[in-house]
Structure 1
């Protein structure tokens, strides 16, 4: 199938005004989420946002999700009909129809409003998003995808045509349809933005931006004007579904990404700007020796966690040494404070004073030195089955003891003997990134 202009699904009541994009205008990528396309009035509002951008001298490239809840409905239908025996490959082919239909509708509405528009489709010979064959959660083959996007999409923009690209969909090198997983349309938008060196990528959603808290949980949350990618990684995939962690690794450092609400009616609307990028996005996990001179200060007692005021005294005592804990591990009867070793003895003396003042809760203090930390970071790390084994397995084979392990969001910190830490970091990196475990 060759790329061609759409015929248009809607017939305007009168002939539309035909107008073209301004020559030399800046390219922006606008991605419209499923809820912003829930019905005809929302599709019209989204199309009007694109028309307005063109009139303001911009060159928009549109990426669309499936309309409304189409993806969920198709999954339910296919699984029920097949008694949950449908193959991932066949399911991907079915699910792609949601975005493919959405692209056809959107392009037709743009044409009805007087713009030249074409939709892209995975049936075309030059479909740009090329992936591996992990059906349901495919990974883009980045160099080929970027080159194909430039080759297919850029000429359309130069001809003042608005390309409408169905998000979420990929295609293997042998022509089979894949999907990029939940949040896949955002990934499509970021891939297109990077390949075209666009001025910005605008993610149009049904929320005003990224909030200071979940409005279903806290009162009067505020919209954050900006947030760093690394900070956002700690919030993504929460109950507020504004963006998926997997998406963030495709955020280019030099391109502004903004999350806005469709209700604003403009791609220039206020929202949340996402800044920065992740280091080493080509690897699934970053492994680094983050602290070389660490001591573990252990305080044991009885039901320590039931007395938060005693915990506060311990932390205050450590702070009086000019120390900030590098990490904390606790259960009901003990707390371990990982601290810089240089002032470990002084910290132990101050903690011991707190023990003597609170013997009804605290029993004793111990200090272990000559430790170091290895940090493993990666989006979705906590959702990777077997991740702890992949970290600890190679260390066990070399007879290396793990003195502690801390986990939070997308990072794991491993505490090891100092003289083993460099070798341990290399072994962990090999296990996670070099042996085919990173997809």
Structure 2
């Protein structure tokens, strides 16, 4: 069996949703899959806008956007569903869900406060609506499909906005509620991203949590594959918006994929990898708009990796914009212990995550998200050090297995960037990542130069084939 997760762009229009239905129907010929859907593209953002407007008592604005959400899904069903009876039934279902959304808007408006719990409820409507339309359209087209509310399976803690599942309870629910349906040949359609607390209150797993949901369900059901369907041909050698010549990577390890995710690659949510690694379940990243493309296989299975060629070792180049460098200098660092502990305690107390680090005897440079820190943090750092801030920078990371142990790779990286001003360099203990910081206006030239250096001609990690029968 397989878990098939479709992202927002893969179900965002009637044409895209029909393509996803066709892909699922093809998979069903082998064995009934579990289908996990995101909200239609753009809908979650609309729901957040609705919530914010309701919290600010802008009732008319919130209700107008809710009307847009209603219209989007009614248009979807109008194009996808042909039977008047089914169309009428589905229209009622969509109107009921949007009616609940409008009641929530009015409740928040009356109370005058938007809580984290209310925000999770607002955000859940995207997945509830997309799966309702998808399941009904599949059934009308003659497929044995059933809509299942994942909140009865995905029981989480009360950390609204970033809830974590209660593993033992969730696994028992998945085996008792979902597996019998799949074993009977029924395609199960359910939601990513959302869950519920033990008290039955709707929770969310954080933005990008649909990938996490799919991986968790795959691990609990002991599936033989997790398929992440998106709008690109797998994990790319670089962001194609920056490098038009970027190509898909055929095979990569879990470690490489996780590193890329944390370094800014947008295809996979970082937490997706963990449940798959636990059960060694292969993850496929595929293009629902181009299902014939081979996509990317992510695995640690030696048999599946046996056909891969590492070429020049580099697999991909990841970029994370919107960063800033905080340079900290203090003579207290020289030959004394405890300074690092004091420094990072400040970042911890202000809830600021450090991305990249570079040190010398009397100074340390770190990168953080430009939006994540405030003047209070800087003032506290200045009480025991000299501080300098550099805005409008980006981290660029070159990723591939065993880079640190490969002679000449670092030399090739930095000699190819001789015309780019490098503001900071970091490698440390990582064997698969060499990172540096450039000014944002230099990102395009830096990544295009690196891509030509490592992915030109035959020296590319994108030329090998996935072993036959792996998917």
Name the SS of the counterpart of 1:171 in structure 2. Answer: strand
1:261 corresponds to 2:287: yes
Aligned mates of 2:285, 2:125 — CA distance in 1: 25
- Residues in 2 aligned to 1:141 and 1:384: alpha-carbon distance in whole angstroms: 28
2:156 is the counterpart of 1:128: no
Contact 2:328 2:365 in 1 (8 A): no
Q: 2:233 aligns with which of 208, 230, 244?
A: 208
**Does the 8 Å contact 1:208/1:223 carry over to 2?**
yes
Distance 1:162 1:205, change over 3 A: same
CA deviation string 1:224-256 (max 9, x = no partner)? 112223222332256652112233323234211
1:122 to partner: Cα distance: 5.2
- Which residue of structure 2 lines up, in the alignment, with residue 224 of structure 1? 249
Unaligned runs of 5+ in 2: 58-112, 302-326, 342-346, 355-360, 368-394, 398-425, 430-471
Q: Secondary structure at the match of 1:58?
A: coil
Shift of 1:71: 0.5
Structure 2 residue 114 is matched with structure 1 residue 86: yes
Question: Aligned to 1:39, which of 13, 31, 52?
Answer: 13
Q: Does 1:196 align with 2:206?
A: no
Paired position in structure 1 for 2:144: 116
**Per the alignment, do residues 138 and 413 of structure 1 end up closer, same or farther by CA in structure 2, a change over 3 Å counting?**
farther
Consecutive unaligned residues in structure 1, runs of 5 or more: 1-26, 278-330, 334-365, 375-380, 389-401, 415-439
Q: 1:151 to 1:243 in 2, by over 3 A?
A: same
- Show the 5 A alignment for 1:334-353: none
Residues 73/165 of structure 1: CA separation in 2 closer, same or farther (3 Å cut): same
Contact 1:237 1:243 in 2 (8 A): no
Distance verdict in 2 for CA 1:145–1:383, change over 3 Å: farther
Secondary structure of the residue aligned to 1:135 is coil
CA RMSD of aligned residues (A): 3.8
Q: Which runs of 4+ in 1 moved over 3 A?
A: 237-240, 381-384, 402-414
- Alpha-carbon distance between aligned partners in 2 of 1:97 and 1:207, rounded to the nearest angstrom: 26
Give the structure-2-normalised TM-score.
0.53
Rg bigger for which structure?
Answer: 1
Partners in 1 of 2:239 and 2:227 — Cα distance? 22
Partner secondary structure for residue 63 of structure 1: strand
Name the stretch that deviates more: 223-232 or 133-142. Answer: 223-232
Number of the residue aligned with 1:313: none
SS of 2:289's equivalent in the other structure is helix
Shift of 1:174: 1.2
After superposition, give the CA deviation of every residue in 1:284-342 in whole Å (9 maximum; x if it has no partner): xxxxxxxxxxxxxxxxxxxxxxxxxxxxxxxxxxxxxxxxxxxxxxx899xxxxxxxxx
Instruction: Provide the rounded CA distance (Å) in 2 between the counterparts of 1:332 and 1:63.
Output: 46
Q: Distance in 2 between matches of 1:259 and 1:122?
A: 23
More helix by share: 2
User: TM-score normalized by structure 1?
Assistant: 0.56
| TM superposition shift of 1:32 | 0.5
Matches within 5 A, 1:67-216: 67-83=40-56, 85-121=113-149, 127-216=152-241
